[in-house]
Amino acid sequence: MQVTQQFYDGLGRHIQTKQEAGYSSTVRTIVSDTRYDGLGRVTQQKPAALCSRGERHRL
């Protein structure tokens, strides 16, 4: 099974994509993040990274 979630900030800008795939105890999570400056320009894009179960992904 695969689940993809898209997250947006209060201004409607895409800030994170989270993909989970696998079965029961073998679920893998891949997360990518985007940050913006005060003018709405992309300042940082973190490439997709594999996160282990229970790990919190931070930019």
- Answer whether residue 19 is part of any domain: yes
Query: What is the predicted pLDDT for the residue at 52?
Result: 66
Residue whose C-alpha is closest to residue 9's, from 35, 43, 45, 42: 35
| DSSP structure class, residue 58 | -
- Answer whether residue 27 is part of any domain: yes
- Answer whether residue 15 is part of any domain: yes
- How do residues 17-58 score in pLDDT, each as one tens digit? 999 887 767 778 899 999 999 999 999 999 888 886 555 555
Distance in angstroms (rounded) separating the CA atoms of residues 54 and 23: 16
Residue whose C-alpha is closest to residue 28's, from 36, 37, 19: 19
- Answer whether residue 59 is part of any domain: no
Domain boundaries, position 14:
2-51
Residue whose C-alpha is closest to residue 17's, from 35, 33, 40, 3: 33
- Answer whether residue 17 is part of any domain: yes
The count of structural domains within the chain is 1
